[in-house]
């Protein structure tokens, strides 16, 4: 199994006619993802053609793509000033899964999105994230380099795109494939958080181990550690970026803000150790540490 995406995932790309949307839609199709449509307002009725010659219809709205093409997941490549409206469009269309890649969406805009999202039928991953990938089902919704992934049973949740790739490469090098990799993004107002992603992976019968990658700022990792301590019986390996960040200086993503003694690397690592999570000193240890825990 996998979480969030599987063989039934049918993707509509919001912003498919733009440079980034077109490039990554092509990469997704080449990997095996079912990209069934694109959305660009005002260009409905046109046909988008990938660099490899594959095509998809362009619709004016997400609701049109759901009705005409059976789309059940939306991937957003829309510029920051308009990205929140693109997310809201998908929420109002009641599409089950929304993944927003866009970086730099104003926090005020995302607060409006969050107020609508929490009472909706949609689940949001991102913004400012690499997306979600399931090697088993050949579904890639995002910008991650697919060639480093391998089919397996280790789930990953991470705030950092680059560290996601590093942990995947480490697992693959250790002979461990991945079930689902979830990049939740590093913005201060995210959709999915660590706890929700870990819960999904914990409940997935084919995920045998979990890698949780975090960074300084916020309390998402501490909250996930509390969940893991109370509910998770699977081996969990963790890494926190920013351990050497100078005191008082913000580092990393927009969400890397430390306040009230919470959100520091020290507090996160302490909470993770208390939950029985295997802590890695550097990201390259992830594969071998998980391999040792799985063998136990």
**Could you tell me which residues are annotated as the binding site?**
17-20, 43, 101-103, 165
Sheet holding 151-158, edge to edge: 139-142, 131-134, 178-183, 151-158, 209-215, 236-241, 278-279
Query: Which among 149, 231, 253, 282 is annotated as catalytic?
Result: 253
Residue 245 near residue 288 (C-beta atoms within 8 A) = no
Task: Return the axis-axis angle of helices 161-173 and 286-295, rounded to nearest 10°.
Answer: 50
Q: How far apart are CA 55 and CA 49, in angstroms?
A: 4
The vertex-150 CA angle with 4 and 243, nearest 5°, equals: 80
**How far is CA 76 from its chain centroid?**
12
* Binding site per annotation, positions for substrate: 165
CB atoms closer than 10 angstroms to residue 226: 15
Active site residue 253: yes
Q: If residue 69 lies in a helix (H) or strand (E), which one and from where to where? A: helix 62-69
Determine the Cα–Cα distance for residues 118 and 64; give it in Å rounded to an integer: 24
Strands 97-100 and 123-125: parallel
Determine contact, residues 42/106, Cβ cutoff 8 Å.
no
Alpha-carbon distance of 132 to 39, in angstroms, equals 20
Secondary structure of 135-182 in HEC code, one letter for each residue: CCCCEEEECCCHHHCCEEEEEEEECCHHHHHHHHHHHHHCCCCEEEEE
| Known binding residues for CoA | 17-20, 43, 101-103
- Enzyme catalytic residues: 253
């Amino acid at each position: 199994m996998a979480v969030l995406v599987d063989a039934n995932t049918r993707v509509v790309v919001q912003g498919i006619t733009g440079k980034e949307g077109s490039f990554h839609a092509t990469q997704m199709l080449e990997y095996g993802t079912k990209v069934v449509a694109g959305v660009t307002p005002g260009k409905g009725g046109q046909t988008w053609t990938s660099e490899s010659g594959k095509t998809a219809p362009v619709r004016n709205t997400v609701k049109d793509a759901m009705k005409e093409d059976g789309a059940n997941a939306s991937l957003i490549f829309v510029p920051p000033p308009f990205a929140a409206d693109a997310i809201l469009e998908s929420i109002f269309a009641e599409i089950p899964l929304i993944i927003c890649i866009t970086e730099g969406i104003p926090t005020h805009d995302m607060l409006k999105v969050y107020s609508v999202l929490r009472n909706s039928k949609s689940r949001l991953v991102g913004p400012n994230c690499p997306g979600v990938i399931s090697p088993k089902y050949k579904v890639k919704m995002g910008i991650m380099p697919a060639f480093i992934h391998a089919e397996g049973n280790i789930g990953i949740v991470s705030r950092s795109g680059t560290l996601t790739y590093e942990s995947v490469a480490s697992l693959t090098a250790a002979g461990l494939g991945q079930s689902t990799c979830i990049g939740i993004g590093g913005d201060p107002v995210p959709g999915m958080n660590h706890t929700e992603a870990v819960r999904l992976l914990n409940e997935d019968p084919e995920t045998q181990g979990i890698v949780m990658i975090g960074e300084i700022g916020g309390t998402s990792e501490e909250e996930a550690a509390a969940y893991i301590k109370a509910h998770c019986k699977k081996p969990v390996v963790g890494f926190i970026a920013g351990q050497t960040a100078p005191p008082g200086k913000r580092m990393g993503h927009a969400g890397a803000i430390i306040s009230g003694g919470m959100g520091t690397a020290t507090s996160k690592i302490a909470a993770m150790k208390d939950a029985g999570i295997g802590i890695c000193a550097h990201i390259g240890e992830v594969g071998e540490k998980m391999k040792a825990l799985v063998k136990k």
